[in-house]
Amino acid sequence: MSRSKLIQSWSRLLAVAGFLTSHGSHASNPYLEAPLVSEMLSTPAYRYANASNDEVREWLEARQIPFVEIRDSIPGVRLPGRLVGPLHGVFIHGTDVRHMADSPYEILDGRLALALDDFSQLLAENGIVELVHFTILRVKPTATTLLTRHPGALAIDVGELKRNDGTWLRVKHDFEPAIGAKTCGTGATRLDSDAGRLLQALVCQARARGIFHYALTPHFDAAHADHFHLEIKPAVKWFLYN
């Protein structure tokens, strides 16, 4: 990569990182999509992230999502619980299935469970039967307010997906990173392998359906080289997929 292109890539990366940390101006961010407010308000990501606990419980029950609420409060999490069954035939779990029932990393907010139900439908349509994540909740025991991202159990780091033929799609090995490259839409970088292109397509289909507010891939930075960070966030009226 030439020096000028390297500088451009890092400039784009810094713009994205600045937005994520400070919610800076829309115009400064090359990956930010801010649709019409009327469109945004109707997306699953916005509706789930901003729903009340009672609304979330009602939707979880109506859709028969196998989510069991944790009655003990968890600092920073609005409606904590665990998935106790597959979603649309997709088995979602962390890297150690032996501790699904007691690992704190398996705890998720009911709002994320709704988003994952939508995402699992998309995965099932593409022949995916299993999703392995690295983490969902990252507990902040001293939290005194409701939190977002992993501390609020509103984000998941997806590392591997299993297809119905038994083969695996692994982000670390199959999604060739190009930091600063565009992941979805016009001008997106085309990955070399079939597996990589399928992983990329799944992320972009999630964007098309408005399932998550944020999707960070290996194109974002080195810290995401082995997973997709998928997140919903209250009050957000834009998308950022990179």
End-to-end CA distance of the chain: 20
Task: For residue 156, give the amino acid letter.
Answer: I
Question: Is 124 in contact with 79 (CB distance < 8 Å)?
Answer: no
| Encoded tokens for 49 | 């992230």
What pLDDT sits at residue 28? Answer: 54
Strand-strand pairing, 155-163 and 228-231: antiparallel
Burial class of residue 174 in the structure, from the number of CB atoms within 10 Å of its CB (0-12 exposed, 13-18 middle, 19+ buried): buried
Q: Which residues of 188-213 are buried (b: 16+ CB within 10 A; e: fewer)?
A: eeebeeebbebbbebbbbbbeebbbb
Q: Please give the domain boundaries of the chain with CATH numbers for all domains.
A: 3-241 (3.30.1380)
What pLDDT sits at residue 29? Answer: 66
Q: What is the pLDDT along the chain (242 residues), one digit of tens a residue?
A: 444 444 344 444 444 444 444 343 344 567 889 999 999 999 999 999 999 999 999 999 999 999 999 988 999 999 999 999 999 999 999 998 777 788 889 999 999 999 999 999 999 999 999 999 999 999 999 999 999 999 999 999 999 999 999 999 999 999 999 999 999 999 999 999 999 999 999 999 999 999 999 999 999 999 999 999 999 999 999 999 99
